[in-house]
Structure 1
Amino acid sequence: MSAIHELGALELWRLLHARQLSAVEVATHFLDRIERLDEANAFVHVDAELALRRARELDDADDRTGLIHGLPFADKALSLREAQPADMGSRWLEGTIAEATDPLPRVLDAGGGVVLGRTASPEFGFAGYTRSALHGFTTLPGRPDLHAGGSSGGAAAAVAQGLLPFAPGSDGGGSIRIPAATCGLVGLKPTRGRIPAQGGVGQVGGLATAGAIARSVIDVALLTDALIGRVNGVAPHELVLRSPERDDGSLLAAAIRGEGRYRIAVMTGGTPWDSSDDIRIAPEATAAVDETVALLKRFGHEVGEVALPDASGYPEAFTDLWRGGAATIPIPVEERDRLEPLARWIIESSDRLTAGGLAKAQLWATEFERRVLAAFAPWDAVLTPVTALTPRPLDWYPIDDGEADFRHQVLHTPHTSFVNVTGLPAIALPVHRTAEGLPMGVQLIGRPGEEATLLAIGRQLERRVPWEQRVVDRMRP
């Protein structure tokens, strides 16, 4: 049998379910790897005692039907868990301990998961790369000179190093898709409202949703089903967005089948940020799209083009929605000198955002969403790059200037945030590799609630492109 960390999450689940492996064995294996091999700085906290206690409880339980029974995961540093650190990557909250557990970790606990610790995030998740003054840089595994992407960079770096079989993340502007593509992994941002515990509903702008990162499409589907919280194929939450009935309704079933022929369009007409920033699409990003198109045509899919609708006004609207979310962070003015420049710029600029300004941004975003959905409606999926540029050097972002830092993030990832504004599902797939061997991902954007379609297409690509094996081959023993 392959080493435990080389097995996919679904393979591990089957062995745990059959009692050929114990949850304690699996947790111990991954805890040992974290202690020895986390050169990318993926984890900011590990609680071995908590993990092994939980694993023993699961081994002693008669019921092993949990969707992720015995499988290790880690909370992203932005999720709170009782009695665990709650600094959210910020010096302002350094030393803070959570008094209660957020809904999302509770859902994964209920599914039978074993939490090992916490993965790195930039301060409050504001950046598309993962670095904080509190915890340092999280780097691309095997390339300590490059960023791992963000803000779920710790989650992606953990999976890419074989420290976890999969990991939950959150995505408010690309924060799952960016690090997944950068680290050569699969990352799924579900439709707004699809994840009951954290789906964007009730947030300013409705931008951020939880999602999954893994080496394979199948394992992303498994974790996403667990995040939805399915019991016997039914999501037990009255507000959850349901997809059309597909067998038992599980995304895992759709991913395993990987069937269908679809209408897929390459997005043309630039990016939503073209009116404010000098967006340049690197040849490597174009090559990733071209390679994917060639494969899709070979599989028998219809491939065409669709133009991005008029996005003039997008940069102002998105930035105001981003500021609106930042305005909910209750940090007193006199304590803001403890913030890093990016967070301070966003939060202080939110002070100048009026109720009318926020309402205007939300109304613009709603109209933009309608235009995008109408344009994309004839297509089952729409294809773009994930990042416009290759993985960025550690010194590329001007971290001492918050506004300049934000602008550099736009240059790197101009295709991701509009998917959050429109609430659509999107999957990052690491189809291409550069001449230097660096991963370059593509993004497939789906119809509302149609994650199953994205997973089916992704599975077809996965059968031809050995991205999971590339990750396994790169892992240290």
Structure 2
Amino acid sequence: MTVASMAEAVKSGRTSAAERVEATFRCIAALDPSLHAFCTLDEAGARAAAKALDERLGRNQPVGPLAGVPVAIKDLICTKGLRTTFGSRLYAGHVPQEDDVVVERLRAADAIIVGKTNTSEFGYGAFGHNALFPTTRNPWNPDLAPGGSSAGSAAAVAAGMVPLAIGSDGGGSVRVPAALCGIFGLKPSMGRVPAYPGCRDERHPGISSWESLEHIGPMTRTVADAALAMSVLAGPTPKDRFSLPNDILQWAVPPVETLRRVRIAFSPDLGFAAVDPEVRARTEAAVHRLEQVLGCVVQVVQPDVGNYSAVFETLVAMDTDRQGLRRMAAEQRIELQGWLASLLSRDWSADTFTHALMERKRIANTVWRFMEHHDFLITPTTACAAFGLDIPGPDTINGRAVEAGSAWIAFSALANLTGAPAASVPIGLTVDGRPVGLQIMGRHLDDLGVMALSAVVESLFPTSWPPLAISGDTMSR
């Protein structure tokens, strides 16, 4: 069931919230032992919320737009009274005293929070493993990575355990796993969906990271479901100084007629990225289909931003409480690992940080000038399809030696550096059955335009789903 149809079925009495919750936990019990999408479940809390909702419905009291819809929350997003570890041993037993703003809004809309989904430590890394929990696996092939850092959220939606999951995206962490798992992922404009206490609570090192880059967005099977989620999630709060007024009166997918004269820029590589030939071919074919269907003008061109990976990494380091994390790690005698450990160990200079800030301004200015002549910029979401679980990424792409941990996600951080809305839409599978995603980036604050074009792509490439079958307590293929 879609998010909309499930909520309507609960409101009309064709099913109950309790039935939806029980079906969800049955599905999780059957599939998640093989996928490890969830790291913490809230069965008691979900059942209590469903019971209370059904009682209100029985009294004919009004309910919210997401009534009875089971939702999964990424483990970087705080849930009051429910363990939130941020994928780190430093917070292995952490139980927040308040909900993140988005969780408050979901509860107010009568969604049912069923649990927390796995992530890399504090979101540092485009994969789904950490030292606390088993590594999340891709529902299309459990031997492959699901992408990250919203790995568990993507896997949970792709496998059908929940119809809606919330992810966070500091450099592609919604769109990248959406692409590798074959679902829709939206990174709204900066400030559309507020974040707090995540990113902004200075009392907690690591939790307070990513502030100038982070976005929170929905991960769903359809664009329409993401639009419905945005109707609940979007809007200002004094807790987030970047939050925007809710100037969009109706969060619904605009009709295709709004796109008839759009100008689309398409870049298969942004001028610097190595791209897998099959991913490139499928992306080019999808853009050609769009050009035919919309009768629009597509130019093969890209903004002159250059390879911004070093700038992005430096800005992440600036947003990180490096002193606080080092202190916590020393006090708890825990050794941090991976990309986060390298950011903490480097001796960053003020001039390095200043240069990154100036480069970010150059990139942002280059992009808005470019977008004066184009309504959308389309690229692949990732430079390759899913790869093995035991590597941070391929070290060669299309015969070129590349940086394994970053080259395959060369496209996504541009929208974080600029704050522009962007989404990943499935456009089919590789020959060996791995999903491929198309990234659509829009103009400043044109979230509805991004969803409108995403919906057209969705209609052109009807999504198939992983061939999962529930058999006892295992996943069979």
Give the whole-Å Cα distance in 2 for the aligned partners of 1:26 and 1:63.
19
Cα deviation for residue 212 of structure 1 reads: 0.9
* Corresponding residue of 2:364: 369
Give the whole-Å Cα distance in 2 for the aligned partners of 1:201 and 1:37.
32
Cα deviation for residue 125 of structure 1 reads: 0.8
* Corresponding residue of 2:459: 463
**Which residue of 110, 114, 117 corresponds with 1:116?**
114
Contact 1:152 1:176 in 2 (8 A): yes
For the pair 1:173 / 2:179, whether they are aligned, the reply is: no
Identical columns (%): 28
> Structure 1 pair 20/100, CA: closer, same or farther in 2 (3 Å)?
same
> Structure 1 pair 90/214, CA: closer, same or farther in 2 (3 Å)?
same
Cα deviation for residue 429 of structure 1 reads: 0.6
Cα deviation for residue 288 of structure 1 reads: 2.4
Give the whole-Å Cα distance in 2 for the aligned partners of 1:425 and 1:382.
11
Q: Deviations over 1:387-438 (max 9, x none)?
A: 1012011122289xxxxxx942212110111110111110101113111121
Give the whole-Å Cα distance in 1 for the aligned partners of 2:241 and 2:341.
38
TM-score normalised according to structure 1 size: 0.86
Contact 2:270 2:411 in 1 (8 A): no
Contact 2:100 2:197 in 1 (8 A): no
Give the secondary-structure state (helix, strand or coil) at the position aligned to 1:12.
helix
Higher mean C-alpha deviation, range 103-112 or range 443-452: 103-112
Cα deviation for residue 315 of structure 1 reads: 3.1
Contact 1:45 1:117 in 2 (8 A): yes
For the pair 1:425 / 2:431, whether they are aligned, the reply is: no
Give the whole-Å Cα distance in 1 for the aligned partners of 2:39 and 2:115.
8
Alignment of 1:69-468 (within 5 A): 69-197=67-195, 206-228=212-234, 240-241=243-244, 249-254=249-254, 259-261=258-260, 262-267=262-267, 270=270, 274=272, 279-299=273-293, 300-311=295-306, 314-327=308-321, 330-331=324-325, 332=327, 334=330, 335=332, 337-349=334-346, 352-397=347-392, 407-467=403-463
Give the whole-Å Cα distance in 2 for the aligned partners of 1:205 and 1:142.
33
Cα deviation for residue 102 of structure 1 reads: 2.1
> Structure 1 pair 289/360, CA: closer, same or farther in 2 (3 Å)?
same
Contact 2:140 2:467 in 1 (8 A): no
AA at the equivalent of 2:244: L
For the pair 1:59 / 2:54, whether they are aligned, the reply is: yes
Give the secondary-structure state (helix, strand or coil) at the position aligned to 1:36.
helix
* Corresponding residue of 1:12: 6
Give the secondary-structure state (helix, strand or coil) at the position aligned to 2:224.
helix
Contact 1:84 1:98 in 2 (8 A): yes
Give the secondary-structure state (helix, strand or coil) at the position aligned to 1:309.
coil
Cα deviation for residue 287 of structure 1 reads: 1.7
Q: Give the length in aligned residue pairs.
A: 447
> Structure 1 pair 323/201, CA: closer, same or farther in 2 (3 Å)?
closer
> Structure 1 pair 201/120, CA: closer, same or farther in 2 (3 Å)?
closer
RMSD: 2.8
Higher mean C-alpha deviation, range 376-385 or range 256-265: 256-265
> Structure 1 pair 473/257, CA: closer, same or farther in 2 (3 Å)?
farther
Give the secondary-structure state (helix, strand or coil) at the position aligned to 1:419.
helix
Higher mean C-alpha deviation, range 168-177 or range 281-290: 281-290
AA at the equivalent of 1:81: T
Higher mean C-alpha deviation, range 78-87 or range 163-172: 78-87
Cα deviation for residue 336 of structure 1 reads: 6.4
Contact 2:192 2:235 in 1 (8 A): no
Give the whole-Å Cα distance in 2 for the aligned partners of 1:169 and 1:322.
18
Higher mean C-alpha deviation, range 86-95 or range 118-127: 86-95
Give the whole-Å Cα distance in 2 for the aligned partners of 1:240 and 1:341.
31
> Structure 1 pair 178/329, CA: closer, same or farther in 2 (3 Å)?
farther
Contact 1:383 1:443 in 2 (8 A): yes
Give the whole-Å Cα distance in 2 for the aligned partners of 1:263 and 1:194.
24
Cα deviation for residue 457 of structure 1 reads: 1.2
* Corresponding residue of 2:206: none
AA at the equivalent of 1:327: D
Give the whole-Å Cα distance in 1 for the aligned partners of 2:380 and 2:198.
24
Cα deviation for residue 237 of structure 1 reads: 9.4
Any gaps of 5 or more consecutive residues in structure 2?
A: 201-208, 395-401, 472-477
Give the secondary-structure state (helix, strand or coil) at the position aligned to 1:290.
helix
Q: Deviations over 1:301-354 (max 9, x none)?
A: 221122221426x333211111122226732152464322332112233xx334
> Structure 1 pair 166/388, CA: closer, same or farther in 2 (3 Å)?
same
AA at the equivalent of 1:343: L
Any gaps of 5 or more consecutive residues in structure 1?
A: 1-6, 400-405
